[in-house]
Structure 1
Amino acid sequence: MKKLILPLLLVLSGYLLKAQENPPTETLDSLFDIVNSEEKGMGSISIFSNGKEFYQRSIGYSDVEKNLQSNATTKYRIGSITKTFTAVVIMQLVEEDKLKMDSYLSDFFPDVPNSEKITLEHLLRHESGIFNVTDDKDFTTWMKKLQTREAMLKRIIKNGTLFEPGDETRYSNSNYLLLSYIAEIVEKKDYAAIVENRIIDKLGLKNTFYGEQINAEDNQARSYVKTEGNWKVTPETDMSVPMGAGGLVSTPENLNIFYYNLFEGDLMSKASLEAMKTTNDGTGLGLMKLTFNGFEVYGHGGGIDGFSSIAVHFPKEKITASYIANASDYPLNSIFLEAIKITLGLPYQIPDFAPPTALNPDVLDQYKGNYGSAEFPIDVAIFHKEGVLYAQGTDQPPVPLDFSGENSFKADQLMLKLTFINAEGKMMLEQGGKIYELKRE
């Protein structure tokens, strides 16, 4: 789960959203043809209009070693998109008076620091202040092993809190891990059975389930990273680790069905849906929100091991789109953004995939570190590899940066600019017309 998508990183400001009557599938194909031919990613995308699929494309392999090609029913780990499912479960339990939004965490796990102050809503909105357990310094040593609830709770308790509940919005997988445990206690069932009963069976999501060890023979994708020009399989996180923070497996088509029905009111009351859509700093209850030119888009991103995913819904336009990659050598959300522009008849640019210019690693050392801010919902790690500087948000894939001037770097595909003030240990992050000041920790 050490990856999500910088508040979706979907910046469409300045464009008029209008779905075309005849979606340009050939243009979409041209985009994914070059992604495939340049070996910049493997995975599947699905796009719906008014609840019906009008475009689907799969590229690459679900299993490189066995030469198994991906297709429309290939199933992928979806990472943090699972959080939307978990939020729906919690909202349903609230509607049934089995839980209350202002219930305290101490009612369930009194040993968690500040639990007597942390409400369920704080957890849902990432306002609890609880340390992100996947940032644990030993994460890579235990992520591949079966974990009990007790072991995960012990790590959460050990790492303590970062701020007082409600003071900030900061993304933490621990919040949704705890929410899934709470749902299990209330329902007296395991998380997999709860989601299956409340969402999967109700919507007929035949290719969505709680993950176990990846089974390539069941058309389940393995994930890969590019190493010395070749795709190398990544280690698998044991699915006892992410639970309701990132444990589900699905297809883009199934995700579109889920998000479309969620916004059509088929999973909860209108009041509960409005609560999910109500955001602080772009963060709602299991949803992220972006507003531009009077239009709104909601969704979530995710990542686990080598998988990256993103799903969005335009409520007024009734456009739903999901893209899941099991291998990325270029930011998934950049490709997805161009696909959305094409779908909506907006100006688009098919990437040329030119690599950033390599710089002296000794010069890049001065920018390394982890940067955060109370005003920005996730932390950003800055590091370099083979002379290229990278930015990586919490639970997101790394983004390569181009040098753009003294102490400044950019990623044009994300409309992102970073300027470092090294003497003060600061980084100015500019995106979508907004500027955030992040401090090195």
Structure 2
Amino acid sequence: MLRASISLLALPLLWAGTVTAQTALPSSFNKAKLDSLLTVLDAKHKLAGSLQLTQNGQVVYSRAIGPEQPNVPATTATRYRIGSISKTFTATIIMQLVEEGKLKLNAPIATWFPDLPNASTITVDQLLHHRSGLGDFTRDPAYVQYMTQPKTQAELLALIRARPVEFEPGARYDYNNSNYVLLGYVVEKVTRQPYAQALQKRITGKLGLKNTYYGGRLNSQQHEAASFVWDGATWQIQRETDMSIPGGAGAITSTPADLTRFLEGLFAGKLVKPATLQQMQVMQDGYGVGMRIVPFGNQQSYGHFGSIDGYRSALTYFPADKLTVAYCGNGSSPDYTLSDLLVGTLSIYFNKPYRLPDFNAPKIEAADLTALVGNYASTQMPLKINVTANGTTLMAQATGQSAFPLTAKSRTTFVYDAAGLTMEFDAAARTFMLHQGANHFLFTRQ
């Protein structure tokens, strides 16, 4: 379902003094290490998809792994459904229409959808920022029953109208696919063109994106990827959402190469004026106009994530480094996520401490972790670390930071590869040693 499309990439750094901001040059990028990461992910069936990095408009890395279709390997030309990255395209078209004076951000949606709840008070701007309060039709339990069947605009409007209102317009943020489905319809009504034609005229045609378009039924002859999940033995093909449903919220098909050109074109002023781009980057509760801030350590980028069926995608741009990262995926496994891939990719690109994941870790039972959990403190650094167990996974959470999972190297040694951390426990002494780079800290359970 589209609802799962947003997750923030945040790298937990236990000790800020050990990491500094760094502007990477292409010559410092360890391509062989990133290749090794994708090789192990491919060999262990952790992800299937295509990754591209560009720096200052030049491709510095491009590789595809896994299947395109059953028994057909993916290539860098494989086309993928990108899910909610479509929202960035839709938001860009809306802002073009605002620039042209054909649309106002404060226009009430009653102009086009008078029968929707609160239509006279919900504005286009609130749709863009997910602040409309409308119910999300993809949260309806019945969604999974009809998602593979075509729906008309009238049918989808009826589904949105039937959902309970979540809050008064503008009261708060709530990520919601109904908002961008409606914005896709606004594009059609204002331009008097189908969304697919408006997309081609206003974005893909301008930038020469020949592999980006409004999707339809999957066409293997056009190198469109099916989506899969690894079941422990084979890649299992997933159900296919009918593209009449996600519309402007998630119906676009693309490639990492085209996605990088799109975001570079947007930030280069080829699609909207600089003042409009700045307006799109202003965050309200963490969400701007079709984009959000994606932090990595001390660095900041702007982009979006996507999820539909078995597809997972990410697109983000670091203005200070002129670095664009695009990933289109069509296969995943339960124990390795898109965020894991991005942390590894960015750590390697920016030359941060990072160990390649080891999927041959020893088998850990829940009972093995009991003696390790507790609150730990150190006389050598101000942070405290709370160690907990989630089933057979050991979790760590530093003061003021989010919890993150640790990977077992043995029954007493655990690592967090994304931050280059190793924690060596001595259950009898009620301590662990924390190693990060050249730093070593002793923590004692309180």
Q: TM-score range by the shorter chain?
A: 0.7 to 0.9
Contact 2:52–2:63 (Cα < 8 Å) also in 1: yes
- CA 1:215–1:355 in 2, change beyond 3 Å: closer, same or farther? farther
Which residue of structure 1 lines up, in the alignment, with residue 278 of structure 2?
274
Shift in Å, 1:403: 4.5
| 1:33-72 correspondence runs (5 A) | 33-64=39-70, 67-72=71-76
Q: Aligned residues: percent identity?
A: 38
- CA 1:290–1:326 in 2, change beyond 3 Å: closer, same or farther? closer
Q: Which ranges in structure 2 are unaligned for 5 or more consecutive residues?
A: 368-388, 407-415, 420-446
Which residue of structure 2 lines up, in the alignment, with residue 348 of structure 1?
354
| Counterpart pick for 1:232 among 210, 219, 236 | 236
- CA 1:184–1:55 in 2, change beyond 3 Å: closer, same or farther? same
Q: Tell me how far apart the structure 2 counterparts of residues 203 and 153 of structure 1 sit (CA, whole Å).
A: 32
Which residue of structure 2 lines up, in the alignment, with residue 149 of structure 1?
153
Shift in Å, 1:110: 1.3
Alignment-mate amino acid for residue 393 of structure 2: D
Contact 1:8–1:288 (Cα < 8 Å) also in 2: no
Q: Tell me how far apart the structure 1 counterparts of residues 366 and 249 of structure 2 sit (CA, whole Å).
A: 37
Q: Tell me how far apart the structure 1 counterparts of residues 100 and 194 of structure 2 sit (CA, whole Å).
A: 19
| Counterpart pick for 2:328 among 324, 329, 332 | 324
| Counterpart pick for 1:333 among 324, 329, 339 | 339
Alignment-mate amino acid for residue 345 of structure 2: A
Shift in Å, 1:410: 4.2
Q: Tell me how far apart the structure 2 counterparts of residues 75 and 150 of structure 1 sit (CA, whole Å).
A: 30
| Counterpart pick for 2:135 among 131, 134, 138 | 131
Which residue of structure 1 lines up, in the alignment, with residue 247 of structure 2?
243
Q: Tell me how far apart the structure 1 counterparts of residues 65 and 177 of structure 2 sit (CA, whole Å).
A: 30
Q: Tell me how far apart the structure 2 counterparts of residues 51 and 40 of structure 1 sit (CA, whole Å).
A: 29
Shift in Å, 1:160: 2.7
Q: Tell me how far apart the structure 2 counterparts of residues 230 and 77 of structure 1 sit (CA, whole Å).
A: 21
- CA 1:299–1:11 in 2, change beyond 3 Å: closer, same or farther? farther
Q: Tell me how far apart the structure 2 counterparts of residues 118 and 311 of structure 1 sit (CA, whole Å).
A: 29
Which residue of structure 2 lines up, in the alignment, with residue 427 of structure 1?
none
Higher mean alpha-carbon deviation, 167-176 vs 329-338, is at: 329-338
Q: Give the secondary structure class of the aligned counterpart of 1:192.
A: helix
| 1:27-426 correspondence runs (5 A) | 27-64=33-70, 67-290=71-294, 295-329=299-333, 330-353=336-359, 354=361, 402-404=393-395, 410-412=404-406
Q: Tell me how far apart the structure 1 counterparts of residues 165 and 297 of structure 2 sit (CA, whole Å).
A: 37
Which residue of structure 1 lines up, in the alignment, with residue 22 of structure 2?
17
Contact 1:312–1:320 (Cα < 8 Å) also in 2: yes
Q: Give the secondary structure class of the aligned counterpart of 2:160.
A: helix
Correspondence 1:6 to 2:7: yes
Shift in Å, 1:137: 1.4
Which residue of structure 1 lines up, in the alignment, with residue 385 of structure 2?
none
- CA 1:45–1:149 in 2, change beyond 3 Å: closer, same or farther? same
Q: Tell me how far apart the structure 2 counterparts of residues 61 and 292 of structure 1 sit (CA, whole Å).
A: 29
Q: Tell me how far apart the structure 1 counterparts of residues 326 and 73 of structure 2 sit (CA, whole Å).
A: 19
Q: Tell me how far apart the structure 2 counterparts of residues 226 and 345 of structure 1 sit (CA, whole Å).
A: 31
Q: Which ranges in structure 1 are unaligned for 5 or more consecutive residues?
A: 361-386, 390-400, 416-441
Post-superposition Cα deviations, 1:262-315, rounded to whole Å, max 9, x if no partner, equal 111111011110110000222100001145776421000001100000011001
Contact 2:394–2:405 (Cα < 8 Å) also in 1: no
- CA 1:335–1:132 in 2, change beyond 3 Å: closer, same or farther? same
Post-superposition Cα deviations, 1:188-209, rounded to whole Å, max 9, x if no partner, equal 1111111111000100011111
Higher mean alpha-carbon deviation, 8-17 vs 148-157, is at: 8-17
Which residue of structure 2 lines up, in the alignment, with residue 418 of structure 1?
none
Alignment-mate amino acid for residue 402 of structure 1: T
Post-superposition Cα deviations, 1:303-334, rounded to whole Å, max 9, x if no partner, equal 11000000110012100011111001120121
Alignment-mate amino acid for residue 54 of structure 2: F
Shift in Å, 1:338: 0.8
Which residue of structure 2 lines up, in the alignment, with residue 383 of structure 1?
none
Contact 2:34–2:348 (Cα < 8 Å) also in 1: yes
Aligned length: 375
Alignment-mate amino acid for residue 341 of structure 1: S
- CA 1:289–1:327 in 2, change beyond 3 Å: closer, same or farther? same
Q: Give the secondary structure class of the aligned counterpart of 1:6.
A: coil
Contact 2:9–2:295 (Cα < 8 Å) also in 1: no
Q: Tell me how far apart the structure 1 counterparts of residues 364 and 262 of structure 2 sit (CA, whole Å).
A: 41
